Amino acid sequence: MNESPIILTLDAGGTNFSFSAICKGQQIGDRINLPSKADDLDQCLKSLKTGFTKLIDSIDESPKAISFAFPGPADYKNGVIGDLPNLPAFRGGIPLGPYLEKEFNIPVFINNDGDLFTLGESKAGFLPFVNKLLEESGSEKKFRNLIGITLGTGFGAGITINGSLLEGDNSAASEAWLLRNKRHSYTNIEDTVSIRSLKRMYAEQIATDPATAPEPHEIFEIATGKKEGVREAAVESFLRYGEVIGDAIASILTLADGLIVIGGGVSGAYPVFSRSMLDELNGFYTTLNGSKLNRVVHKVYNMEDDYQLKKFTESSSEQVLIPGTSETTVYQKEKKTGVGLSKLGANQAVSIGAYYYALDRLN
């Protein structure tokens, strides 16, 4: 296989499709944007076919594969898309992957946007950024695993282990939106961590209709004093939001043990919600006998804070004597990890992730 193949990718939204070509991890040429026609299957498929055809015509070399993110539920392994709220044309199970393979005669790979976001940040974003900082600081530590969190309409996640995407046997790994909600244990996390829930939490505190509540970016501006509104209610909404995110990440971290990167539209409110999120991650359980137990075994550092970033990059290892000898070995006394914001931006990370996912499958 060509060591630098061109991969076609797609950013699929309920309103628009955005097509791009990637080579060597970089976008080549311009993006092509077309309406998704999400309520009509024939028109939607026509839009997909037109977009990829225009993309192929705009590049000098034949692509080796198509790879992109598409919302679930889906059977990603077999390329079959299930019932989607934002893309009603696909209800009933539509084999989108096989359709595109027949149209363009190249392999087609589809995956979840949270998964591909994480893979992109693992290959070309947050993970190499942090490892470079550690290397420059003289630390011997190197991270290989990454937990990716996307905050937008709801709560998305992905996990990479040693640079490879954790997919699961049923294309159902990292379905973190179904984690239990710490504040409301009878429901899932998205009843606090979602756009609709942020609006509801703000509206409840000021006794107004959630339908007329400000959007999350406006609630953030109210919380930071940049826009008129009830500042205390805005701050409290994001503190609840961050607390539940922190609890969810802690549950994932106990199993995956890696860095944590956050992206998506609501990640812009990180300066407000990160406070309660980090308090939760670095908090504790109270056991039945009244003793305290750390929520996670790690010390979690805020990579967006200069002081904490400096402390994170400092080596925490020491030399300990091997009994009965004069030799020593390295002892990593503190287990540490870091949480920070996307270095690529969610859309770019998803596209880069789709590229590397295709390379992996082609090889």
Residue type for position 267: S
Q: How far is CA 267 from CA 22, 176, 193, 305, 327, in A?
A: 26, 17, 11, 15, 48
Residues of the chain with pLDDT under 70: 1-3, 14, 86
CA distance 139 to 118: 24
pLDDT at res. 55: 92
Q: What's residue 92's pLDDT?
A: 82
Predicted local confidence at residue 342, as pLDDT: 98
**What is the spatial distance between Cα 276 and Cα 219, in angstroms, rounded to a whole number?**
17
Give the pLDDT confidence score for residue 158 in this predicted structure.
96
The amino acid at residue 179 is L
Task: Report residue 170 as tokens.
Answer: 């049923």
Cα–Cα distance for residue pair 11/149, rounded to 1 Å: 18
At CA 162, angle to CA 159 and CA 121, rounded to 5? 55
Q: Both ends of the chain: CA-CA distance in Å?
A: 8
| Spatial separation of the C-alpha atoms in residues 258 and 166, rounded to whole Å | 13
| Domains 6-111 and 117-343 fall in the same CATH topology | yes
The verdict on whether omega for the bond into residue 214 sits within 30 degrees of 0, i.e. cis, is no
User: Which helix H or strand E contains 58, and what residues bound it?
Assistant: helix 41-58
Instruction: Name the 3-class secondary structure at 9.
Output: strand
Tens-digit pLDDT profile for residues 228-280: 999 999 999 999 999 999 999 999 999 999 999 999 999 999 999 999 999 99
Q: Indicate the fold that domain 6-111 takes in CATH.
A: Nucleotidyltransferase; domain 5 (3.30.420)
CB contact at 8 A, 192 and 240: yes
Between 3.30.465.10, 3.30.420.40, 2.60.40.10, 3.40.630.30, what CATH number should domain 117-343 receive? 3.30.420.40
- pLDDT on residue 38: 78
- Render pLDDT for 166-196 as a digit per residue (tens, 0 to 9): 998 888 889 999 999 999 999 999 999 999 9
- 237 and 198 in contact (C-beta within 8 Å)? yes
Sign, CA torsion 233/236/242/247? negative
Angle at 136 between CA 130 and CA 141, to 5 degrees: 60
157 contacts 114 by C-beta, under 8 angstroms: yes
Nearest to 357 by CA among 76, 96, 144: 76
Q: Beta-strand (E) ranges in the chain?
A: 6-12, 16-23, 26-35, 65-69, 74-75, 80-81, 94-95, 108-111, 146-151, 155-161, 164-165, 259-263, 284-286, 292-294, 299-302, 317-321, 328-332, 336-341
User: How much is the pLDDT for 319?
Assistant: 86
CA-nearest of 47, 243, 264, 250 to 155 is: 264
Give CA–CA dist 5/25, Å, rounded. 10
Query: What is the rounded CA–CA span in Å between residue 80 and residue 291?
Result: 50
CA distances from 152 to 34, 75, 98, 224 (A): 22, 23, 29, 20
What is the number of other CB atoms lying within 10 angstroms of the CB of residue 81?
24
The ranges assigned to domains in the chain are: 6-111, 117-343
